[in-house]
Amino acid sequence: MVNNEFRTCPDTGLKFYSSAENLLKVNAVAAVVFLLVGGFYGLLVGLTRWQAVHLLAADNFYMVLTLHGLNVLIFWMIFFEIAILYFCSSVLLGCRLATPRWAWAGFVLMVVGAVMNNVIVLQGASSVMMTSYVPMEADPLFYLSLILFAVGALIGCFVFFGTLVVAKAEKTYEGSVPLVTFGAITAAIIAVFTIVSGAIILIPTFLWSVGVVGEIDALAYRLIWWAFGHSSQQINVAAHVAVWYAIAAIVFGARPLSEKVSRTAFLMYIVFLQLASAHHLLVDPGVSANFKMFNTSYAMYLAVMASMVHGLTVPGSIEAAQRARGYSAGLFTWLRKAPWGNPVFSGMFISLVGFGFLGGITGVVMGAEQINILIHNTLYVPGHFHATVVLGSTLAFMAMSYWLVPVLFRRELVLKGIAKWQPYLFGLGMTGVSLFLMGAGTLGVPRRHWDIGFAGTGGITHEFPAAAYTMLALNGMSVILAVIGGAAFCVIMVGTILFGKKLGNQKMAEPCIVAPVTDEEYEANGGSAYAIPGTLVLAMVFFVSFALYYFINWKYLAETWGIA
Amino acid sequence: MSEQKSSDAESIPMMQKLLDNPFLLLFIGVAAPSILFLGWGLVEIFTVPMR
Amino acid sequence: MSSLSPPSKKLWWNEPIHKTELMWISLVFVWGLIMTFMMPYWHVVGKQNLGTETYKTTPKAFQASTEAFVEQYTVRNEGPRNFPVVAPPAGGDVYMIARLYDWWPIVELKKGESYRFHLSSLDMQHGFSLQPANINIQVVPNYEHVFTLTPNASGEYSIICNEYCGIGHHLMIGKLLVVD
């Protein structure tokens, strides 16, 4: 295979090596397919939780819930992230992809694993949820499919690292890698730890399921599985923060306020973010309070600090760029004059706000060792992670796709009118999903539960407050909104790839990337090159909400039984 | 030119060198949670006393 | 030069950090310290700190302990499943089994008194979710988790399984009584 062919994109000036380009395309397409599949399962879950509709029978509900988790939390995310890794290495560094054959092998393994997993779970004997906690047993092929997928993804990570080496050796860039690439490095490092942990626990579990290994310790399983399960969501965080920076650069020509601050924040992710796997073990036996407190706090909340720093510097860099370009009046002109009709920007900004206010705050609060007693395994948990993974990561990836897919496939985006509304629709739906699930969870409604009305228990019931039923109904309605938004995204993407107007070497009608703001522009604006008063106000609003919500939950906790 | 480069490399601060080295970061990023989370946790779980 | 390109200054580490960023970093660092402090602080002054005393056990051994406990303190049988209602002395031990798909037995506690709970599963992982007090604890087979509960209000409570444990997971509900 010849690996030195490339084209220079007429719209962006970026170099696309054909080796990387083809892999980018197939990974992005696979991602969208699994998003569609997983999203459909999500619709069924939401409509079953809505007690008045109660769509699925119990066995199908648990099967579909297993499928929903795996397809969107694992398959959609990781396929898209592999595409991000290849983009941030090969395309941003202007370098050929290292070992494209291995990259293809990895892709094939991932597809085989993901398809096989769906087929196995649909057969009905592997409705074990994404977590597949031992001693609950799935079909051996269930574990094998996940192992295949993980090996494929691990190969993708090493192709990424290999490409970094090639780029450095062949001097395709000068100095340090771009910040966005550094974010991708962070994601790839977390991915390696994630996948290795997955292998450490899933391989013995596979061997146990075929009878080679006698017993898997249930507590050790939980510990190691969560190093895989939680860290996999931290890959998403690192990747979507990289995407935020990328979109700030694409739409506004923004540069980081400070390379040092943003990169150090990513370093905090690399070292500490994965410790948060302990969030899931806070009410477990067998591990000490010291272990719980140290790990759940990411060693003194240093990774939370990193997220809050990105939360300031991403909009801050946008504000600085906008002010440099003349939108410098008052506190918020820069924000009002942002391109709210451009889904690349609106998706990114809703992702930023949703991830911070809904996902971030709730995650840290329920990750406090003792507060977790109120939250563990209630619907609050899915409520939280729909804000982080869906509103945060998925919406950021959708926003990125609106830019990347036309650039990559050289096709004009189709259905632009719908694309303009899609992030709002999806964002609104998913905000509803998170809020109402969290609301129900606060009332004690369990997660992964088919019937909170307890029909069929022979008369032993629990009366949840009427508000819980209302929350689940509102959740169902929000799911419908979100699914319409998600389906619109998939239709736009597939439509663009198949039917979008071919661009060839023609430039797009509207420029798809803004020229970087220059030093002169930054300096010209009253000399206050990086003044970001508007962002600071937003950040302070965030901080006050965070602190209030944090202490309110300690107060709730103080009202329950004594526990020691 | 090459001399210029090497003196450049020497003046780069330690932290920047660390952040420019993905493999060192990879090592840290795998070692830290392996020790602090996995290692510590497994030691505690495997030293739970028998009833 | 944007975030998509290498930093324009080769030696970016020594660039000064802008005031706003510095201020924000200091603020969130201190906030992190406060949150770090809250957890050990609550261990000292708070009344809700789940104990982590744990023993390795077997389903058989744990079932035997629970049966002995039930035999000693049963006061009556009740409910659709005719389960024993067990009223241990204040300050005493309580054994409770989680299994597919029930919580056994029903215990009757006195408000304001403390009890040492011993909780384990005979089969799958389960989730002990005491409602409406909203106390949630993971139950893991082969491990006996010992912790203390002190009810602060009387009434009939439900124990709902909130860890998926199998096809009848949603049928797994038990009762716990607190009397004045």
Q: Are residues C56 and B12, on separate chains, in Cβ contact within 8 Å?
A: no
| CB atoms B50 and C10 under 8 Å | no
Q: Do B34 and A193 touch (CB under 8 A)?
A: yes
Task: Examine the pLDDT at B8 and tell me if it is beyond 80.
Answer: no
Q: What is the pLDDT of residue A522?
A: 86
- Would you say residue C2 lies in a domain? no
Q: How far apart are CA A222 and CA A277, in angstroms?
A: 10
**Is the CATH number 3.50.50.60 carried by domain A15-252?**
no
Q: Residue B1: its pLDDT value, please?
A: 38
Non-local CB neighbours of A77 within 8 Å, separated by 6+ positions: A31, A232, A235, A236, A389, A393, A394, A397
CB atoms C11 and B48 under 8 Å: no
Taking the mean position of all CA atoms in its chain, how far away is CA A307? Answer: 14
Number of domains within chain C:
2
DSSP state letter for C56: E
* Residue C1 domain-assigned (yes or no): no
pLDDT at B2 over 80: no
The helix or strand, by DSSP H or E, that contains position C32, with its residue range, turns out to be helix C19-45
Which residues touch C63 (CB under 8 Å, ≥6 apart)? C97, C122
Query: Hey, are the CB atoms on C11 and B16 less than 8 Å from each other?
Result: yes
- Please answer yes or no on whether B25 and A286 come within 8 Å at the CB atom: no
Query: B51, C61: Cβ pair inside 8 Å?
Result: yes
pLDDT digits (tens, 9 = 90+) for A477-506: 999 999 999 999 999 999 999 999 999 888
Domain residue ranges of chain A, discontinuous segments joined by +: 15-252, 339-455+463-499
pLDDT at B4: 46
Compute the distance between CA of residue C100 and CA of residue C40 in angstroms, rounded to an integer.
36
pLDDT in tens, A122-134: 999 999 999 999 9
pLDDT band at C40 (very low <50, low <70, confident <90, very high): very high
The verdict on C88 and C160 lying in the same domain is yes
C119 shares its domain with C37:
no
For A362-404, write each residue's pLDDT tens digit. Answer: 999 999 999 999 999 999 999 999 999 999 999 999 999 999 9
Q: Which of A164, A220, A278 sits opposite B45 (nearest CB)?
A: A220
Enumerate the β-bridge partners of residue C158: C131, C175
Q: Which of C166, B27, C129, C164 is nearest to A192 (CA)?
A: B27
Q: pLDDT of A7-53, one tens digit each? A: 999 999 999 999 999 999 999 999 999 999 999 999 999 999 999 99
Residue of A nearest to C36 (CA): A300
Specify the DSSP class assigned to residue C126.
E
Please give the Cα distance from A251 to A243 (Å, whole number).
12
Whether residues A450 and C43 touch (CB distance < 8 A) is answered with no
| Residues in B touching C12 (Cβ below 8 Å) | 16
Domain of C31? Answer: 14-45
Task: Tell me which residue in A177, A282, A464 faces C6 most closely, judged by beta carbons.
Answer: A177
Alpha carbon distance C103, C175 (integer Å)? 8
User: Beta partners for C126?
Assistant: C139
Over residues A494-537, the pLDDT tens digits come to 999 999 999 988 888 888 999 999 988 888 765 566 789 999 99
- Cβ-Cβ contacts under 8 Å for B41 (sequence gap 6 or more): A223, A278, A281, A287, A291, A295
Residue C74 and residue C39 share a domain: no
Residue A161's pLDDT is: 98
Q: Tell me the C-alpha distance between A229 and A131, whole Å.
A: 8
> What local confidence, expressed as pLDDT, does residue A529 receive?
63
Q: Parallel, antiparallel, or unpaired: how do β-strands C83-86 and C106-110 relate? A: parallel
Q: Strand pairing of C106-110 and C173-179?
A: parallel
Q: Which residue has the tokens 């003792």?
A: A370
Residue of A nearest to C4 (CA): A178
Cis ω before A327 (30° cut-off from 0): no
Predicted pLDDT of residue A2:
56
- Closest-CA residue to A9 (of A512, A532, A527): A512
- Chains meeting B at 3+ CB pairs closer than 8 A? A, C
Decide if C169 is inside a domain. Answer: yes
Which CATH number belongs to the domain containing residue C129 in this structure?
2.60.40.420
- B16 vs C contacts (CB less than 8 Å): 11-13
Q: How many CA atoms lie within 13 A of C55 on its CB side?
A: 13
C124: pLDDT strictly greater than 90:
yes
Q: Identify the contact set of chain B against chain C, taking CB-CB distances under 8 A.
A: 8, 11-13, 15-16, 19, 48-51
Residues C27 and C73 in one domain: no
Minimal Cβ distance to C49: which of A175, A261, A370: A370
Whole-angstrom distance, CA of residue A171 vs CA of residue A95: 9
For C16, the token pair is 């000064």
In angstroms, what separates the C-alpha of A439 from chain B's closest C-alpha? 31
Q: Which chains touch A (3 or more CB pairs under 8 A)?
A: B, C
* 3-state class (DSSP) for residue C113: coil
CB within 8 Å of A231: residues ≥ 6 apart: A190, A193, A194, A197, A273, A274, A277, B33
The CA distance from A320 to A326, in Å, is: 10
Q: What is the mean pLDDT of residues A336-356?
A: 97
Write down the pLDDT at residue A372.
98
User: Tokens in use for A355?
Assistant: 């991830």
Bridge partners (DSSP) of residue C110 are C179
Q: What is the pTM of this model?
A: 0.96
- Angle formed at CA C100 by CA C99 and CA C104, multiple of 5 degrees: 40
Is residue C6 included in any domain, yes or no? no
Check residue B3 and give its pLDDT. 42
What are the tens digits of pLDDT across the range C97-118? Answer: 999 999 999 999 999 999 999 9
Q: A272, A317 in Cβ contact below 8 A?
A: no
Query: C-alpha angle with apex A197: A193 to A202, nearest 5 degrees?
Result: 150
- Among A180, A292, A457, the residue with its CB nearest the CB of C173 is A457
Which of A224, A235, A239 is CA-nearest to residue A192?
A235
Considering the domain architecture, whether residues C126 and C38 belong to the same structural domain is answered as no
Q: How far apart are CA C10 and CA A107, in angstroms?
A: 36
Same domain for C126 and C162: yes
Chain C, 35-54: which have a CB under 8 Å from a chain A CB? 35-36, 38-40, 42-43, 46-52, 54
CB A373 within 8 A of CB A557: yes
Distances in Å between the alpha carbon of A247 and those of A241, A258, A315, A403, C111?
10, 17, 11, 9, 57
What tens digit of pLDDT does each residue of A205-263 get? 999 999 999 999 999 999 999 999 999 999 999 999 999 999 999 999 999 999 999 99
Q: How far apart are CA C168 and CA A449, in angstroms?
A: 10
Task: Summarize the confidence of residues A93-119 as an average pLDDT.
Answer: 97
Q: Which of C11, C13, C144 sits opposite B51 (nearest CB)?
A: C144
- Between CA C127 and CA A442 the distance in angstroms is 16
Residue type at A46 in one-letter notation: G
pLDDT of residue A506: 87
Minimal C-alpha gap between C30 and chain B (Å): 23
What are the φ/ψ torsions at residue C149 (nearest 5 degrees)?
A: -120, 140
